[in-house]
Amino acid sequence: MPQHPEPPPRDRAALPPALADVQVVVFDVFGTVVDWHGSIVREMAVRWPQVDGHAFALAWRAGYQPAMERVRNGSRPWTVLDTLHREVLDEILPRFGLGHLDEAERAHLNRVWHRLDAWPDSAAGLQRLRQRLVVGALSNGNIGLLTRMAKHAGLPWDCVLSAEVFHAYKPLPAAYLGVARVLDVPPAAVLLAAAHHDDLAAARACGLRTAYIERSFEYGVAQPKDVSPQPGNDLHCHDIAALAAALGC
C-alpha cells in the first residue's frame, strides 16, 4: 500500500466555523478504526487453514445488518451484538465445513470480534485528536466487545458509546443524538468519522458534522472499495491522521 506522510495540523483559528465548533469526535469502529476483515482472515488461517477466510469473513459480516434490523424494527427485543454475531456464526459454520465445532470453539471464535486489529494509523491518530477534542467510539458493538477490543488494539478512547447505551442500533437517530445528550453538547458540536456513507448520511440528518475516512481495503485487497468523495460530508480524509490535521490537532 502507498505510504502517506503524516499531514501537519491546520491552524484551528482558520477552520471553517462548522468545524471550529466541533468539541467531540466519535468514530464508527468496524472497518473505520479496526480491520475486521483482515483480522478474521488471519484468525481462520491460523486455526482452520482449510477454510477460505475471505469468504468466511464476508459471509459472517453479511448477517450483520439483517440481524440488527430485526431489533431495530421491533420484531425482537433489544439484543447485544455479541449474541447476534453468535447466531450468524452458528448459521454459517456448516456451510464452511465447521459444523462440528463444540461450544468452547464456537465461543472463542465468536470473540474474534473482541480481538480485531486496528488499522496502522488508528491509535496514533486517535491520540493526536485527543490533544484538543473528546474522542470516542460510536459503534453497534456492545460495551464489553468494544472495551476488550480497545484493550487488544491499543485504542485510546476517552469514552465508549455503544448502541447498547441507547438501545438503538445505528442508523436510528437515537444513537447519534444520544452522543450529544450524554456529553451535553449540541449535535453540531459532534463530528462522526466513518468509512461508510450511509452512517454519515444518517448522522447528518441528526445535525452532526461528518468526515469520511478512506478504507479502500475494508473487504480485503481482492475487493477494494470505491472511496471517492461524496457531497454532504464536511471532510474527506485518507486516514485518521489526516482527520486530526484537518481539525487542527
C-alpha torsion angle, residues 185, 149, 140, 162 (rounded to 10): -40
Q: Are residues 59 and 130 in the same domain?
A: no
Residue 17, pLDDT score: 79
What is the CATH classification number for the domain harbouring 78?
1.10.150.240
* Within a domain: 6: no
C-alpha torsion sign, points 97, 57, 141, 122: positive
Tens of each residue's pLDDT in the chain, 249 residues = 445 667 766 666 678 878 999 999 999 999 999 999 999 999 999 999 999 999 999 999 999 999 999 999 999 999 999 999 999 999 999 999 999 999 999 999 999 999 999 999 999 999 999 999 999 999 999 999 999 999 999 999 999 999 999 999 999 999 999 999 999 999 999 999 999 999 999 999 999 999 999 999 999 999 999 999 999 999 999 999 999 999 999
Compute CA distances 143 → 35, 85, 101, 187, 224, whole Å.
18, 14, 27, 22, 30
C-alpha torsion sign, points 134, 248, 123, 192: positive
The 8-class DSSP code of residue 41 comes to H
Q: Are residues 100 and 137 in the same domain?
A: no
* Within a domain: 4: no
* Within a domain: 7: no
User: What is the reported pTM?
Assistant: 0.93
Q: Are residues 19 and 65 in the same domain?
A: no
Q: Are residues 148 and 227 in the same domain?
A: yes
Q: Are residues 104 and 123 in the same domain?
A: no
Q: Are residues 70 and 167 in the same domain?
A: no
Q: How far apart are CA 94 and CA 163, in angstroms?
A: 30
Q: How far apart are CA 161 and CA 176, in angstroms?
A: 10
Q: Are 26 and 161 in contact (CB under 8 A)?
A: yes
Domain boundary among 54, 86, 114: 114
* Within a domain: 22: yes
What is the DSSP code string of 164-225? HHHT--TTSHHHHHHHHHHHT--GGGEEEEES-HHHHHHHHHTT-EEEEE--TTTT-TTS--
Domain boundary among 76, 95, 114: 114
Q: Are residues 106 and 129 in the same domain?
A: no
* Within a domain: 216: yes
Domain boundary among 99, 114, 129: 114
Q: Are residues 61 and 108 in the same domain?
A: yes
Residue 1, pLDDT score: 45
> Which residue segment(s) compose the domain that 146 sits in?
12-35+116-246
What is the largest distance, in Å, between two alpha-carbon atoms of the chain? 60
Q: Are residues 102 and 222 in the same domain?
A: no
* Within a domain: 1: no
Q: What's the structural domain count of the chain?
A: 2
Give the residue among 214, 243, 217 at the shortest CA–CA distance from 7.
243
C-alpha cell, 122 = 488508528
Q: Are residues 104 and 174 in the same domain?
A: no
What is the CATH classification number for the domain harbouring 21?
3.40.50.1000
* Within a domain: 18: yes
Q: Are residues 44 and 16 in the same domain?
A: no
The 8-class DSSP code of residue 64 comes to H
Q: Is the peptide bond before 77 cis (omega within 30 degrees of 0)?
A: no
Q: Are residues 158 and 228 in the same domain?
A: yes
